[in-house]
C-alpha cells in the first residue's frame, strides 16, 4: 500500500501551493521537486485564491509568521476547502507566542485541514492551550513509556478536529482517530538541520494531493518516506560531513527513493 502512495505522487506530479516561512522555503521547494511534485510559493492576499485554484493541494506553515500573510492563509485555506483540495497545517512554534498560538487556532476554526502535523508541544498547545514549546524545537519527546498516552491524545485530537494528526518525534504517530500508525524510521541528526519538519509537511501536501481519497495512508507513507530517507542520508555521511551535507543527502535520498524501497524499508506498528 505504501508504494502506491509514492507512485501516485510520481505519476500525477501534483502542483502544491505553499504559504510558508522564509527560513526553510528553498528546502521545501526542493524536497517537493525531489519527490516528484512541483512547488509554487505565493502569499499575497490578492493572488492566493487564484494560485491555490491551479494547484492540487495546499501547505500552510506558520514559521516566521507575519500579519500580512495571516489573511492570505485564511483566504487560501477557504478556497482550497471549496475546491476540495487537501491541506496541511504546520503550526510551527505554536505555544512560543500568543500570535502563533492564536493564529494556529484561528486557522483550525476557519479552515478544514486534512492533516495537522507538528511536534508534541505544538499539538498539545492547540489541544489544551498549554504548550511547553521551546521555540520551534520540541521539548516533549515520545518514548516507550509515554507512547500509549500520546497515541490516545493524538487520536482524541484527530477526532475533535476531524483531521489526520501527525505528531513527529523519535517515534512518529499518524492517526485519523481510529487507527494509529507508529513509525520508527528516522535518525536523530534530522533535528540538527533546520526545517526537517517543514520539509516533511511540504512533502506531505504532495502525498495527500496525489492520494486525496487516502489521506491517512498517504500521510503515513510520507512519514515513512521521510524517516527512511533520513536513515539513507545518515549512512552516506563521511567523517568530514556535518549537518549541511546531511541536508543535501536527505533531499537527494528523497529524489532517489523508489516506491519499492519505501514499501520494504518502512518500520512501523499499528496501535
Interface residue with its own copies among 6, 15, 126, 266 (CB under 8 A) is 15
Interaction of residue 105 with its own copies, rule CB under 8 A: no
* Angle ∠(72,219,269) on CA atoms, nearest 5: 150
Interacting positions 51-80 with its own copies (CB under 8 A): 51, 54-55, 63-68
* Strand 15-19 versus strand 180-183 pairing type: unpaired
Cross-strand pairs, 180: 175
Smallest distance from its own copies to CB 58, Å = 13
Interaction of residue 253 with its own copies, rule CB under 8 A: yes
Interaction of residue 43 with its own copies, rule CB under 8 A: yes
CA 94 remoteness from chain centre: 15
Tell me the site size for its own copies, rule CB under 8 A. Answer: 63
Cross-strand pairs, 39: 16
Helix H or strand E segment including 220: helix 215-235
Interface residue with its own copies among 135, 152, 184, 264 (CB under 8 A) is 135
Binding part of the chain for its own copies, among 36-44, 113-121, 161-169, 208-216 by CB under 8 A, reads 36-44
CB 175 within 8 A of CB 258: no
Interaction of residue 137 with its own copies, rule CB under 8 A: yes
CB-facing half-sphere around the CA of 159: CA atoms within 13 A: 10
Is 41 annotated in some ligand binding site?
Answer: yes
Cα dihedral across residues 54, 59, 62, 63: positive or negative:
negative
Question: Where does this chain bind its own copies (CB under 8 A)?
Answer: 15, 21-27, 29-30, 33-34, 38-44, 46-47, 50-51, 54-55, 63-68, 93, 96-100, 134-137, 192-195, 236, 239-245, 247-256
Amino acid at each position: 500500500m505504501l508504494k502506491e502512495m509514492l507512485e501516485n505522487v510520481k505519476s500525477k506530479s501534483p502542483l502544491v501551493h505553499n504559504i510558508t516561512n522564509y527560513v526553510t522555503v528553498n528546502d521545501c521547494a526542493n524536497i517537493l521537486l525531489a519527490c516528484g511534485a512541483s512547488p509554487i510559493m505565493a502569499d499575497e492576499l490578492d493572488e492566493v485564491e487564484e494560485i491555490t485554484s491551479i494547484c492540487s493541494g495546499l501547505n500552510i506553515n506558520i514559521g516566521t509568521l507575519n500579519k500580512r500573510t495571516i489573511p492570505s492563509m485564511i483566504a487560501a485555506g477557504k478556497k482550497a476547502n471549496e475546491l476540495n483540495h487537501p491541506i496541511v497545517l504546520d503550526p510551527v512554534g505554536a505555544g512560543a507566542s500568543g500570535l502563533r498560538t492564536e493564529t494556529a487556532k484561528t486557522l483550525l476554526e476557519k479552515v478544514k485541514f486534512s492533516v495537522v502535523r507538528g511536534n508534541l508541544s505544538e499539538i498539545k498547545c492547540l489541544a489544551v492551550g498549554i504548550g511547553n514549546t521551546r521555540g520551534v524545537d520540541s521539548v516533549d519527546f515520545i518514548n516507550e513509556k509515554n507512547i500509549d498516552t500520546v497515541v490516545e491524545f493524538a487520536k482524541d485530537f484527530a477526532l475533535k478536529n476531524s483531521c489526520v494528526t501527525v505528531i513527529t518525534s523519535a517515534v512518529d504517530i499518524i492517526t485519523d482517530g481510529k487507527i494509529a500508525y507508529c513509525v520508527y524510521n528516522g535518525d536523530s541528526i534530522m533535528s540538527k538541520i533546520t526545517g526537517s519538519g517543514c520539509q516533511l509537511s511540504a512533502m506531505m501536501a504532495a502525498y495527500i494531493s496525489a492520494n486525496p481519497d487516502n489521506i491517512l495512508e498517504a500521510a503515513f507513507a510520507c512519514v515513512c518516506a521521510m524517516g527512511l530517507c533520513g536513515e539513507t542520508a545518515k549512512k552516506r555521511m563521511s567523517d568530514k560531513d556535518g549537518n549541511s551535507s546531511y541536508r543535501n543527502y536527505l533531499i537527494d535520498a528523497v529524489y532517489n527513493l523508489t516506491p519499492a524501497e519505501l514499501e520494504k524499508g518502512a518500520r512501523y506498528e499499528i496501535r
